Structure 1
């Protein structure tokens, strides 16, 4: 609906297109940025810096927008989102990317769609088609290929399982956010999530300040980049794009994040993509696309309105 109205006004909607492109680029660039910064800033302090910066933007937005206070039950869910999709996602991803390449991490994080599908099957009693099971099998094979190529393989506590844990946190947070964003708006929910995550990670902020004083200028710049662009600006651009194009058209473009992350990591971090990572990544993306298109058509018709203002977490 948003798209059909928009296209009557312009055959080339420049600002919405730039918003989508900005979102995809900064979310993809987050993976190589995370790979580069832990060399001088530890994973937990890095997460604390990222959300301290994002929370600053959130406080400014809340002070200017002054949204109506959400009910306590919804506020409790927002706090849970901040812990799970904020703290859990960023900490697991930062720890995982100490050994997992940025390109591989980008593909492994895309398994969040599979976790969400699993939640729908086991919690909401949705039914999978044969296509969905085939898509999940492709993803499992792809994850196995990528994980086996990383240091430590798929041993519990090593990099690849930690990145998969980050994807699980992202999926859980996304599931919690869906109803909240529909009732209160994506920016409001995200702002509360950022603040909660920043408060939870604040014990590591002094350590982050100490490490940033001795870190190189490039490392400090990447740490600030993570807080400003993928988290705050990326989200704002994404919400704007959703309002113009709708969730279906915008969401399909997010499949570009993982391969773009691999290319950016190749360019700025010198991570030459291994053939097994490329093959595994293609299997994961193919499986995710199948699960979310052919595999769950009936479910999509039933609750498509619930996804109108969904806010994924990337990078």
Structure 2
């Protein structure tokens, strides 16, 4: 959910920006919990299809009303690759991982995405990445390992954590690929195209998705509708507003609030109680991301 980046201006955090930050954090944090509810009746790929095919409709409407110009073939090709990574593969991996990983730990694992962005930027773009960056990276991965290795049932390797880590890698690659596009296209237009193109492969499972939704209980259908409207449609829109009003680096700092918020919502909504080992791992993962970002900006 943090792959969209842009360059904002240097104004302070005004009321509009603060409100949009709050909406973004709450909706993106609650998405992890809503996914857990949706997985009670839908397969991971079906849940992804319901969420993103639904979100592709308002995205298409936005493009028709605001950006009718179709990008050139080269740009469309890049957008399609980004959509495949950030929507199709990302959502399938995340949903599959959340079959066994609770909402809070899942959000902490996914929040390692900036670490992958920093490593890729250093490797591919020549950006600075010193000893502090590697220390932060090691700290984050050690935290993820703790989350993956322990829960209430004791120590074991949870492949769900590995899959969610894979979704973070997909989001990081998408972030690197879209940087050139954001220099010449509005952030919302880029996201709209990514949503539409990334949702297209899910048409293959549309019949089974419709059948699963028809047979699902009301709570599951409500969670799917919530995923379409709040985290995907509204959350991305409010984040774009934040990026227009604040520098990207400053705006991204607020996303550190997403994992703790997801943990709290998971506890209130689903009664998911984090283990001591999981809390230690979560703290290490978040601290590692902070170290990487601070080191990278110096």
TM-score by length of 2: 0.92
Q: Is contact 1:70–1:184 with CA below 8 Å preserved after alignment?
A: no
Equivalent-residue separation in structure 1 for 2:225 and 2:200 (angstroms): 18
**What does 1:258-269 align with in structure 2 at a 5 Å threshold?**
258-269=259-270
Over residues 208-255 of structure 1, what are the superposed CA-to-partner deviations in whole Å (9 max), with x where a residue is unaligned?
111111111111010111111111110100011111122222210000
For structure 2, the residue ranges without an aligned partner over 5 or more in a row are 1-7
Aligned length: 289
Aligned-residue offset at 1:3: 4.1
Q: Which residue of 1 aligns with 2:297?
A: 297
Q: Is contact 2:121–2:176 with CA below 8 Å preserved after alignment?
A: no
Equivalent-residue separation in structure 1 for 2:203 and 2:156 (angstroms): 32
Q: Which residue of 1 aligns with 2:143?
A: 142
Equivalent-residue separation in structure 2 for 1:249 and 1:67 (angstroms): 32
Decide whether aligned partners of structure 1 residues 168 and 93 sit closer, same or farther in structure 2, where only a CA change above 3 A counts.
same
Equivalent-residue separation in structure 2 for 1:292 and 1:66 (angstroms): 34
Please state if 1:228 is matched with 2:223.
Answer: no
Q: Is contact 2:67–2:189 with CA below 8 Å preserved after alignment?
A: no
Aligned-residue offset at 1:127: 3.9
Equivalent-residue separation in structure 1 for 2:120 and 2:9 (angstroms): 29
**What does 1:11-30 align with in structure 2 at a 5 Å threshold?**
13-30=14-31
Decide whether aligned partners of structure 1 residues 120 and 153 sit closer, same or farther in structure 2, where only a CA change above 3 A counts.
farther
Q: Is contact 2:119–2:129 with CA below 8 Å preserved after alignment?
A: no
Q: Which residue of 2 aligns with 1:95?
A: 96
Aligned-residue offset at 1:72: 1.6
Aligned-residue offset at 1:35: 1.1
Equivalent-residue separation in structure 2 for 1:139 and 1:254 (angstroms): 16
Equivalent-residue separation in structure 1 for 2:63 and 2:264 (angstroms): 36
Equivalent-residue separation in structure 2 for 1:3 and 1:20 (angstroms): 16
RMSD of aligned Cα (Å): 1.7
Aligned-residue offset at 1:273: 1.2
TM-score by length of 1: 0.87
Q: Which residue of 1 aligns with 2:40?
A: 39
Aligned-residue offset at 1:67: 4.2
Aligned-residue offset at 1:275: 1.3
Please state if 1:2 is matched with 2:9.
Answer: yes
Aligned-residue offset at 1:126: 3.3
Equivalent-residue separation in structure 2 for 1:172 and 1:239 (angstroms): 19
Equivalent-residue separation in structure 1 for 2:189 and 2:16 (angstroms): 23
Q: Which residue of 2 aligns with 1:190?
A: 191
Instruction: Give 3-state SS (helix, strand or coil) of 1:39's partner.
Output: coil
Equivalent-residue separation in structure 1 for 2:72 and 2:66 (angstroms): 18
Equivalent-residue separation in structure 2 for 1:29 and 1:133 (angstroms): 31
Equivalent-residue separation in structure 2 for 1:19 and 1:56 (angstroms): 22
Greater shift, 255-264 or 132-141, is seen at 132-141
Decide whether aligned partners of structure 1 residues 240 and 127 sit closer, same or farther in structure 2, where only a CA change above 3 A counts.
closer
Please state if 1:125 is matched with 2:126.
Answer: yes
Equivalent-residue separation in structure 1 for 2:183 and 2:50 (angstroms): 29
Q: Is contact 1:45–1:204 with CA below 8 Å preserved after alignment?
A: yes
Q: Which residue of 1 aligns with 2:71?
A: 70
Q: Which structure exhibits the higher relative contact order, with contacts defined as CA atoms closer than 8 Å and separated by 6 or more residues? A: 2
Q: Is contact 1:67–1:188 with CA below 8 Å preserved after alignment?
A: no
For structure 1, the residue ranges without an aligned partner over 5 or more in a row are 8-12, 299-315
Equivalent-residue separation in structure 2 for 1:114 and 1:19 (angstroms): 25
Equivalent-residue separation in structure 2 for 1:88 and 1:272 (angstroms): 29
Decide whether aligned partners of structure 1 residues 249 and 128 sit closer, same or farther in structure 2, where only a CA change above 3 A counts.
closer
Q: Is contact 1:85–1:170 with CA below 8 Å preserved after alignment?
A: yes
Aligned-residue offset at 1:112: 0.9
Equivalent-residue separation in structure 1 for 2:280 and 2:81 (angstroms): 35
Aligned-residue offset at 1:100: 0.7
Q: Is contact 1:109–1:166 with CA below 8 Å preserved after alignment?
A: yes
